[in-house]
Amino acid sequence: MELFDVLPERFFGLLAGKCRRIYAEAGLCLYEQYRLAQFGIEQEILRDKFQELIESWAEAGVAYEEDDFSLQDAAAEESRAKANHMIRRMKEFGWLDFEQRENFKIFILLPHYSSRLWGLFAHLCEGRAVEYQRFAFTTYQVLSGEGAKVQPSMAVLEAERLAEEFVEELRILLNNIKNKMEQVSAQTSLQDVLSHHFDEYRSDIVDRSYHRLKTSDHVSRYRIRILQEVQEIRQNKERFRALCDDAVNRQLADTMESAEYRMNASLHSIEEIYRGLDDMFAQIDRRHNQYVRASYERALYLQQAGSARTESMIAGILLALVEARDERREIQELPRLFRLQTMDMLLPNSRYVPRKKRVLRPNTEASVREVDAQLRARVRRESAERVARGISRQKIEAWILEVLGQRGSMEIGELLGLLRAEENPDFLQLLYVYLYGHDELAKYRLGDHKHIEEQDTIRYTSRTVKRREKKT
């Protein structure tokens, strides 16, 4: 069966027109009302909802305009007429159906394909945090619970579905980190990079998915049990025989051979998914580290570029002041304070000049000159300073522990205040304090997210930095 053997041919037509944003929100509203109404949506209720939607879009400057819409009843309110027209268009494109019941009241129903598709769209728009541990916990309960003794074949198939859904969520996380990495690399200011990291990446990736996967929501506590349960089912002949018999009785397979093949395939799929989690976790960690590196390099580049532009502007101003003083005049032309790009006309002297052939000369022994001791010491000192300025996990941990002293915790705002008090503050240290704070191997940890605060031009997440207790 093909897709459009199930869906109407024009189902997606409304989402491709000029009013697609209005129809998209209307479809989500339709699905919400469908979930609330147990036996169908009253047409008047849906029309009122669509009328409010059309009026809110009109206030935002987006009008509902369809080529086939015309206000037939001049006395009718235009937004109400548009709401009725929207319902008719949805019926025409197969989004909904009408049903007339007692007292000639019209109810709105959703075909099965429409409810499932809009359920998927609603799920995509919600952006809820993923409970990774739920997949592993539920899979283990399904395989080992009482239901598995009564319906073993259904339990195995459900466990396979959960495992596939789990690995799909991990793939989504992997791809989302890649997209965030591309977004941060496209930022054009240091403030945008920091905002993207602390606001978007933290909320969409770290807090919602990555941190939960690496800490409290880790699936390793159930993975071994799941693999043991799968091995027990496959190796226990009586249990596997009962599993295949149940599959045949439930008409999941025609013969015992086909039942054995299908159940073995499902058990093998579950086993392969949970045995391959280490590779998937390694890929996610690698992609996360790539984002961190890209974020840091982009922030460093923009910081250096901003410093270079400032230095160039200051140099231009100073040069203009010196020239004005030498010529004993006042500066009246503002363009002289800025760096302008000159363009030359195409002149005869701008033509390409052929290269001169290089004359090869015989090698001569050059005398080796001893490097001055002061120069050597200066080069060593500058190299040591560059190494000292570099940021590493050890330096961040040592700095945090030094700042904490005898205290057990400190707010991020206090760290920012200490950085501002330094002669040459490096605010990128806060970025690494946040990143390393989610690592279980770090000597400190970050508390839960509180709220977003801002000091001058720096926005940061208000969290508590806590000294990590040594494990005994």
**The pLDDT of residue 74:** 39
**The pLDDT of residue 160:** 92
Q: Contact, 402 vs 443, CB < 8 A?
A: no
SS3 106: strand
Taking Cα atoms as reference points, which of 227, 229, 318 lies closest to residue 277? Answer: 227
C-alpha gyration radius of the chain: 34
- The owner of tokens 């849906």 is 46
Q: What is the mean pLDDT of each run of 10 residues along the chain (472 residues)?
A: 85 88 91 86 90 89 74 60 90 90 85 90 75 80 86 91 88 85 82 78 75 67 86 89 90 89 91 88 86 82 65 61 61 50 57 70 65 77 68 79 84 81 76 75 77 73 80 56
**The pLDDT of residue 157:** 92
**The pLDDT of residue 87:** 92
Taking Cα atoms as reference points, which of 174, 176, 193, 194 lies closest to residue 185? Answer: 193
CA–CA gap between residue 235 and residue 262 (Å, rounded): 16
Taking Cα atoms as reference points, which of 438, 446, 440 lies closest to residue 464? Answer: 446
Return the structure tokens found at 324. 């004005």
Query: Alpha-carbon dihedral of residues 138, 288, 208, 436, nearest 10 degrees?
Result: 110
**The pLDDT of residue 2:** 84
**The pLDDT of residue 328:** 61
Taking Cα atoms as reference points, which of 303, 310, 327 lies closest to residue 427? Answer: 303
In one-letter notation, the amino acid at residue 156 is V
**The pLDDT of residue 79:** 85
Give the β-pairing of 106-109 and 409-411.
unpaired
- If one counts every other C-beta atom within 10 angstroms of the C-beta of residue 126, the result is 7
Range 20-39 burial, b when 16+ CB lie within 10 A, else e: eebbeebbebbbebbeeeee
End-to-end C-alpha distance for the chain, whole angstroms: 61
**The pLDDT of residue 419:** 79
**The pLDDT of residue 311:** 58
Could you read off the pLDDT of 262-272 as tens digits, one per residue? 999 999 999 99
Q: What is the pTM of this model?
A: 0.52
For the chain, counts of helices (H) and of strands (E): 17, 8
Give the β-pairing of 458-461 and 106-109.
unpaired
CA 195, chain centre distance (Å)? 14
Q: According to the 3-state scheme, what is the secondary structure of 149-216?
A: HHCHHHHHHHHHHHHHHHHHHHHHHHHHHHHHHHHHHCCCCHHHHHHHHHHHHHHHHHHHHHHHHHCC
* Residue 267: φ, ψ to 5°: -65, -40
CA–CA gap between residue 208 and residue 210 (Å, rounded): 7
**The pLDDT of residue 340:** 47
Query: Alpha-carbon dihedral of residues 442, 444, 449, 453, nearest 10 degrees?
Result: -110
Residue 18 sits at the vertex; the CA angle it makes with 16 and 22, to the nearest 5 degrees, is 90
CA–CA gap between residue 23 and residue 9 (Å, rounded): 17
**The pLDDT of residue 70:** 61
User: Around 390, how many Cα atoms within 13 Å sit in the side-chain half-sphere?
Assistant: 10
Taking Cα atoms as reference points, which of 164, 160, 152 lies closest to residue 233? Answer: 152
SS3 423: coil
